Amino acid sequence: MKDLREALERRKQEGLYRRRLIAQSAQAVHNFIDGKHVLSFCSNDYLGLANHPQIKQAFVEATDKYGVGSGSAHLVNGHSQLHHDCELSLAEFTGRDRALLFSTGYMANLAITSALVGRKDVIFQDKLNHASLIDAAKLSDAKFLRYQHNDLAQLKWLLDQHSTARRRLIMADAVFSMDGDKAAAKNLSLLGRQSNSWLMLDDAHGFGVLGENGAGLCEEAGLTQQDVPILMATLGKAVGVSGAFVAGSEELIETMIQSSRSYIYTTASPPATSAAVMQSIKIIQQESWRREKLFELINYFKKQAALLDCELMPSDTAIQPIVIGDNHKALDMALKLFEQGIHVTAIRPPTVAENTARLRITLSAEHEKQDVDLLIKALSVL
């Protein structure tokens, strides 16, 4: 294993070594991690629901009734009433005919390509898509093409070039996970409809946060099941629990149940996670103040950061990265912030392109303006 040791050493030299910190408290903006109390600006728990008392209670009560493990796959005897009810509630919330639960977003994305495309088909993806979408395309037998970020003219050209393919599937992050900007969803849906191809949006970072009721980017942009036939979102970020779902037509969901390998060949998630998700969805719908407060904080952060003359990205979501460029410099800045009690992660290649290492700052409805002031102050002395 000498070559592994050398490769690991090279990684360190290039500032690409990844290290896990050990969280010793519940997920919250005030965190105890690696033996240090920190104010955290790197979680995807955008609404502060990961440690919410009512959601925890729903989880505990469901555990009392249903136990811990589901025991088997959904198609054997692991599909509990709670999973089923949760799917109905997600379908209703997103205005789709049906929804299908997955243990993780990564698996949901693999499921989509494994059920829908094969050798005669073409997948088109935005260059900045999440790794799970890229892997989903690579693991399929379909031809895989990428277009420049949000470049719909290029996408249209590529679609035209492949007009004879059996199926054409467009896949994009709804909110780009490392940049924070949004897909041109309306125009993507028009292009999808005009070209008779399928549009899939991954709303991992919009679900719970965007739209009047928190149903995500499709709600915000007024896009129906006809506009975005394949909607995927995760349940471990703003929803604060775990898992993911795909929502769409009866035929779509039934096809996935019949043939998605990452649906069929895996144990169903613990039933209690579905009870927690349902409780979280209720809170998301009822407590719009969480979204309002989050967007106030986002605007406040952007205004204060602009005064610092640090370069923000064109994002108006909770993801507010500051591009540093050099890997070592980004790591060093994150370390200095951590020493001052502020936790922000340095995101480096291959998660982002070479020379665009960044501090990925995320905001949460649990933050207060004073917290943002502390972050700005710490950034100003770096």
Ligand X SMILES: *Cc1c(COP(=O)(O)O)cnc(C)c1O
Query: Catalytic residue positions?
Result: 177, 205, 237
Distance of CA 55 to the CA centre of its chain: 20
* Among the listed residues 40, 43, 80, 104, the single contact to ligand X using CB under 6 A: 104
Please say whether the beta carbons of 309 and 344 come within 8 A. no
* Among the listed residues 39, 117, 136, 204, the single contact to ligand X using CB under 6 A: 204
Please say whether the beta carbons of 228 and 198 come within 8 A. no
CB-nearest residue to ligand X: 105
* Among the listed residues 234, 345, 356, 364, the single contact to ligand X using CB under 6 A: 234
Residue 350, preceding bond cis, omega within 30 degrees?
A: yes
Structure tokens at 292: 């309002």
Nearer to ligand X, 55 or 378 (CB): 55
Structure tokens at 49: 């629901």
* Among the listed residues 132, 189, 225, 262, the single contact to ligand X using CB under 6 A: 132
Counting contacts by CB under 6 A, is residue 177 touching ligand X?
yes
3-class DSSP assignment, residue 211: coil
How do 143-147 and 122-126 pair as beta strands? parallel
How do 168-173 and 342-343 pair as beta strands? unpaired
* Alpha-carbon span 15 to 17, nearest angstrom: 6
Q: What's the closest the beta carbon of residue 106 comes to ligand X, in angstroms?
A: 4
Counting contacts by CB under 6 A, is residue 126 touching ligand X?
no
Nearer to ligand X, 206 or 271 (CB): 206
The length of the chain is: 382
Counting contacts by CB under 6 A, is residue 192 touching ligand X?
no
Q: What's the closest the beta carbon of residue 180 comes to ligand X, in angstroms?
A: 11
Counting contacts by CB under 6 A, is residue 130 touching ligand X?
yes
| Interaxial angle between packed helices 369-380 and 288-307, expressed in degrees from 0 to 180 and rounded to the nearest 10 | 30
Q: What's the closest the beta carbon of residue 226 comes to ligand X, in angstroms?
A: 23
Q: Give, in order, the Cα–Cα distances in Å from 237 to each of 76, 234, 251.
A: 29, 7, 28
Structure tokens at 48: 């502060």
Site for ligand X in 323-342 (CB under 6 A): none
* Among the listed residues 105, 206, 211, 229, the single contact to ligand X using CB under 6 A: 105
Residues 6+ apart with CB under 8 A from 349: 16, 327, 356, 357
Counting contacts by CB under 6 A, is residue 219 touching ligand X?
no
Nearer to ligand X, 96 or 130 (CB): 130
Counting contacts by CB under 6 A, is residue 317 touching ligand X?
no
Nearer to ligand X, 128 or 323 (CB): 128
Binding site for ligand X (CB under 6 A): 104-106, 109, 130, 132, 173, 177, 202, 204-205, 234, 236, 244
